[in-house]
Amino acid sequence: MLLFDNFSLSLKKGEIKAIVGPSGVGKSTLFELILGHRKPFFGSIRSTSLSQVFQDPYSSFHPTYTIRDQIREVARMEGYELLMEQMGLDEAHLDTLPHKLSGGQLQRCSILRALLMKPKLLLLDEPTSALDNLNQLDIMKLIVKNIEGMGVLLITHDGDLAQWCADEIVTLK
């Protein structure tokens, strides 16, 4: 069975594209292909300098290292204080082990790490699903505000979110 036939997607700096569609249609498989975790049977995928935010923040961090150590492994900490303040995170969150944080706090740390990596491509797989309704819009506004120099590919089931933030919506069926 072929998931994607004659499929092409490109992103420009500062652009957000949303991938929407029902469960099982291949949205996460597309991300795995872009990340290089799967190989396409045909065609090619070109992407450079990317970071990602997954739906499950607990699978994004090693359980025995502090958040700060894990961010420092992949990113410079330049500008982290302002981002943390905007996300409602405290300095103490960075010196904590992942399992001691709530799902929402850990997801915000995941987003912080992804933004601090300053990628050319930011992959977001349901990035606000672990957040309460009050924080979802604020965090997406923060992501949108910080996309200078990168393209963003967003997987979401939330059509309203896609309409609000995306320059283009790609619907998979």
Q: What is the CATH number of the domain that holds 92?
A: 3.40.50.300
Integer angstrom CA distances of residue 45 from 10, 32, 41, 54:
10, 11, 11, 20
Give strand pairing partners of 20: 171
| Tokens 């995170």 -> residue | 89
- Is 1 a member of any domain? no
What is the distance between the alpha carbons of residues 69 and 102, in angstroms, rounded to a whole number? 18
- Is 102 a member of any domain? yes
What is the distance between the alpha carbons of residues 67 and 166, in angstroms, rounded to a whole number? 30
DSSP letters for 135-161: HHHHHHHHHHHT-TT-EEEEE-S-HHH
Integer angstrom CA distances of residue 21 from 28, 59, 140, 141:
11, 23, 20, 23
Whether residue 126 contacts residue 155, with contact meaning beta carbons closer than 8 Å, is answered with yes
pLDDT of 159 reads 86
pLDDT of 170 reads 92
- Is 42 a member of any domain? yes
- Is 151 a member of any domain? yes
Note down pLDDT in tens along the chain; length 173 residues: 445 667 788 899 999 999 998 888 888 888 888 888 888 887 888 877 899 998 888 999 999 999 999 999 999 999 999 999 988 899 999 999 999 999 889 999 999 999 999 999 999 998 887 777 777 888 888 888 888 889 999 998 888 889 999 999 998 88
Integer angstrom CA distances of residue 126 from 19, 24, 83, 123:
10, 14, 20, 10
Query: Considering only CA atoms, which of 143, 77, 78 is closest in space to residue 108?
Result: 143
pLDDT of 42 reads 79
Q: Which domain holds residue 54?
A: 16-171
pLDDT of 4 reads 65
Residue type, 71: I
- Is 10 a member of any domain? no
pLDDT of 1 reads 43
- Is 57 a member of any domain? yes
What is the distance between the alpha carbons of residues 66 and 96, in angstroms, rounded to a whole number? 5
User: Into how many domains does the chain fold?
Assistant: 1
